[in-house]
Amino acid sequence: MPTPAAQIRLLLLGGFRLLHDDTPVTVPRGLQRIIALIGLRPGATRSHLAGLLWPDATEERALSSLRTALWRLRQDPYCPLRTDGDTVHLDPRVSLDVDDLVHTAAHLHDTNHPALDALAAGRHDLLPGWYDDWVLLERERLRQLRLHMLEQLARNHLQAGRHGEALQAALEAMAAEPLRETPHRLVVQIHLAEGNAFEALHAFYVYRDLILRELHLEPSAAMCALLDDTLAPIRRRTTPPHPRPPTRPTRSQP
């Protein structure tokens, strides 16, 4: 039987894993869905959970299926769930990696919070290969949360003059979503702040070629404006001078 000091981890980023003192606990796929949903919707009522898990069944049948599944889970000594009246939630001993990601994003401005935690948090999508509607919604929410977190981390480092750390965070956001302009824009800004005009131009044209090829779009005006000062001397040298209008020949007087 689990002891009160046991460490239980529920990992949903990158795939479902339930760990008891770092030892994987085998959970059938059908029961994984129930544990994952309860972890993502703490304090949800049984009716709400049943409706999300069995959306095509009648309410009575869905609730019956949920009761059966919860009974099966409670037979396992490693069951990570607790019931409280009409609600079901994770055991207080269970730590959830999704909560860690949300906590890291919320404490991004805390100077005591290690920046490496923000870089590593949520590198993997929520429950890849799962296509339930409630999974898709949570997956996109957490993806956007991590992208904004990495971009803010890059801005924080850039403002503090820590260009290497800023570039690392921006590149991490770029790897998570290559077609998103914001991290590419940050990379250009970081290179310009370091005085690396070539790197800035290279980053700009790599992104421009990418979205032209994939989306048939041009970079935004905000992205182009970053390089106005850098490109101005080049434009002046490559723009041909306006041709002078031809002069009319004068008629000779008889």
The two three-digit tokens of residue 66, written as one number = 């949920």
What is the DSSP-derived secondary structure letter of residue 57? S
CA 64 to chain centre: 36
Residue 1 confidence (pLDDT): 45
Q: What is the pTM of this model?
A: 0.83
45-81 residue pLDDT tens: 999 999 999 999 999 999 999 999 999 998 888 889 9
Task: Round to whole Å and give the CA distance between 249 and 222.
Answer: 50
Mean pLDDT taken over the chain: 88
109-127 residue pLDDT tens: 765 556 667 788 878 999 9
Instruction: Return the residue matching tokens 């544990």.
Output: 35
Contacts of 198 by beta carbon, 8 Å cutoff, 6+ apart: none
Flag whether pLDDT at 100 surpasses 80: yes
188-234 residue pLDDT tens: 999 999 999 999 999 999 999 999 999 999 999 999 999 988 777 66
Task: Round to whole Å and give the CA distance between 211 and 180.
Answer: 9
Instruction: Write down all domains in the chain, each with its CATH number in brackets.
Output: 8-96 (1.10.10.10), 98-235 (1.25.40.10)
CA 78 to chain centre: 31
Quick check: helix, strand or coil at residue 243?
Answer: coil
